[in-house]
Amino acid sequence: MKRTRENHIPADAELYIQDLLSSAMIYRYERGGNPVGIAFRGKSQKPSWHYRFRSQEERQQYEQKFLESVRAEEERSNQYKAQKNAQHTLKAGDILYSSWGYEQTNIDFFQVVDVKSKTLALQEIGVTTVEVTGWASDSVIPDPSHKIGPVFNKRANGFNHVRLDDCRTASPYDGRALHRSWYA
């Protein structure tokens, strides 16, 4: 049997706060002369906390901190979602880069060929070594004259990031040389 929120709430507990500014809910009850509180957030079936307190004031302070914390976290989450879903500011000609790898650092560059709403037409471009920095490592910059593969479409988010595949995300290139490494 899957436990639900109601399974965690004692029969004598009363709903104290169902916050209008967040998804927080707090229940109160007494056990052995001590104040007890249990709180939930969002759609969670398990309590965020379930504590016995030494005094009513201690419980009140803990509840207030919990409410402030949930409100702040949900506000940050809402702002992040709004920014992520906002329109990107990329335009044709912009260059993006992706830095990825395990035990080595691969650098891939992409040029924006066309923009249609949130969808970008991207072309992978080559790299030019600016400086050899050591054994199996160098600093590179993009080479827009060297095209690699066909043009492909990807969606950009409001942070101007493009998820290329499971291990690569492209971000706007800022013009500085990037470190690349390899071995064997």
pLDDT digits (tens, 9 = 90+) for 67-96: 999 999 999 999 999 988 889 999 999 999
State which amino acid sits at residue 21: L
Q: What is the pLDDT of residues 4-41, one digit of tens each?
A: 889 999 999 999 999 999 999 999 999 999 999 999 99
Torsion of CA 124, 128, 132, 133, to 10 degrees: -50
- What's the confidence (pLDDT) of residue 103? 87
Q: Give the predicted TM-score (pTM) of the model.
A: 0.70
